[in-house]
Amino acid sequence: MNYPQLDIYLNRIKENASKLRQELDGKNIKLTAVVKGFAGNLNVFKAYQEAAIKSIADSRIENIKKFREAGYQDEILMLRIPMPSEIKEIVPYIDASLVTEAKTAELISKAAEAAAKIIDLIIMVDIGDRREGILAQNLAELAEKIEALPGVKLKGIGTNLGCFAGIIPDQKNTFHLINLKRELENKLGRELEILSAGNTATIRLLKEQELAREVSNLRVGEAILLGTDIINQSLINGYHHYNFRLQAEIVELKEKPSNPEGEMAFGGQGRGQIIEDKGLRRRAILAVGKQDIDYHGLYPELEGVDVLGASSDHLITDVTDAAQDLGVGDILTFKINYSAMLRAMTSQYVSKNYIE
């Protein structure tokens, strides 16, 4: 055993992917599985292939190349609007890209021509979350520019919500997007094939037929990997939940005053923490840190364990109320959220244990 260790339940991920694909198929919505959460890991990727996923999205060229080299031939969508500096290199590996900038579209057009292929483009529209996306009033201008470019095909428009400002996808903003697509179709004088909604938080909206009829593509990551919907703070019914589990080892366990001692940096806030004086507490230090996980996203499986914080290499927990006696060398296990999963998959120091 090598700790910290991440247990990865491949079968559950596969079943989630397969179930979601079939559910969306039934609504005539193409599932694009967003795979950016597992750092191009080919063992996890295999679960998607076994689930017959035919469209994936990632944002890292390294991962995209790896999937192609592993023999994946179906659709790859460049999920993050590409860096101008990577376009030449990435175009040979992808089928489609999200775009928001005319300059980027022009570079993709050039690279596509050079590679003798057509790249599908989806314009991202910002309808409130203020991450990537063009504002509605500028949409037509960009669309018309793209229409005139060789080597690219304007397939439709899309949006992403929830990820920066935390704006929740709802009926109102989704209908807004649908209306923008209609207006754009009128201006261009042709239909657009794709209305690409995203992400996991949009799934629950698709119960409404009126919405589901208009959405033709859904980009989903979290629901497949974790069965959770962090934006709506819920577990997704009928899916396997928390398919990644962290195991970490206790390297120190001592009774200590919970109150720190000495002059505290940063205006007495101790890097923003407010530490409550709870008297003497049993404190377990685990050998895993910020380099490996996002400690905000750790949910201890043993009752009574409290995560207090982390530094680069240490996780600090309060185990005074733990439901079990603990000692140095014992292992604590945690369910983890998306952000902790992302970090654990990226960290070379976290060993990966695949459970079929």
Ligand X SMILES: *Cc1c(COP(=O)(O)O)cnc(C)c1O
58, 120, 126, 222: residue in contact with ligand X (rule CB under 6 A): 222
Choices 16-24, 114-122, 220-228, 294-302; region in contact with ligand X by CB under 6 A: 220-228
Smallest separation (angstroms) from ligand X to the CB of 184 = 19
Burial, 168: exposed, middle or buried (Cβ in 10 Å; 0-12, 13-18, 19+)? middle
4, 82, 133, 198: residue in contact with ligand X (rule CB under 6 A): 198
Smallest separation (angstroms) from ligand X to the CB of 355 = 22
Tell me which amino acid residue 256 is.
K
x-or-dash string of contact with ligand X, 106-145, rule CB under 6 A: ----------------------------------------
Tell me which amino acid residue 337 is.
N
Complex with ligand X: residue 161 or 250, whichever CB lies closer:
161
Q: Does 82 bind ligand X (CB under 6 A)?
A: no
Smallest separation (angstroms) from ligand X to the CB of 160 = 4
Smallest separation (angstroms) from ligand X to the CB of 281 = 36
41, 97, 199, 217: residue in contact with ligand X (rule CB under 6 A): 199
Do 134 and 105 touch, CB atoms closer than 8 A?
no
Choices 60-68, 146-154, 194-202, 309-317; region in contact with ligand X by CB under 6 A: 194-202
Distance CA 46, CA 210 (A): 34
Containing H/E element for 351? strand 351-355
Tell me which amino acid residue 247 is.
Q
Let me know if 103 is a catalytic residue: no
Tokens describing residue 324: 């079990």
Q: Does 79 bind ligand X (CB under 6 A)?
A: yes
Complex with ligand X: residue 221 or 297, whichever CB lies closer:
221
| Angle between helices 42-50 and 10-25 in degrees, nearest 10 | 40
Distance CA 225, CA 239 (A): 10
Distance CA 143, CA 156 (A): 9
Smallest separation (angstroms) from ligand X to the CB of 67 = 16
Question: Which one, of 210, 206, 208, 233, lies nearest residue 220 by Cα?
Answer: 206
Do 70 and 35 touch, CB atoms closer than 8 A?
no
Tokens describing residue 244: 């990644």
128, 133, 156, 221: residue in contact with ligand X (rule CB under 6 A): 221
Which residues of this protein are in contact with ligand X, per CB under 6 A?
Answer: 34, 36, 79, 160, 198-200, 219-223
Catalytic annotation, residues: 36
